[in-house]
Structure 1
Amino acid sequence: MEYEEFIRKVGLKIKEIRVEKGITQEQMEEGDHGVSYRTVQDIENGQSHPSVRSIFKISKRLKVKPKDLLDV
């Protein structure tokens, strides 16, 4: 698997988990581990490469382990 494909799949995995939990992109901004909806949108659409910090915050917001977001 190439890097760009991996990044795209990570974004899709984040979206899948977020939707399963009934959380909107806008709601991802809420709480101590909030991430801007624009950042989430860009990651989910494969337009941005998530930083380790973003992966950490997204995993906390979705209440999953960081590895769950990267297991594609």
Structure 2
Amino acid sequence: MRTTKDVKMDVILECCPKIYEKIIVYLNLICKRANGELPTGAKFLRNLIRNHPDYKKDSIITSQIASDTGQIVKDKN
């Protein structure tokens, strides 16, 4: 059994270490999303919008809310 810092897996992959490490990164991401530790993209965006000071809980996304949300997402990447 191989163990990463986050996920314990019993896997046999015949690939180069670089590819294996990339797979582990994605498996960790999936595990964190599945157990609620990391929000999905949709949940992340909903939380940003719901917590925006201009949002009035009326399902209307103003251009300012959209712009601010887009900037936050851009800055995260």
Which TM-score applies when normalising by structure 1? 0.34
- Which has the larger strand fraction? 2
Who wins on radius of gyration, i.e. which is larger?
Answer: 2
Greater RCO structure (CA 8 Å; 6+ sep): 1
- Which has the larger helix fraction? 1
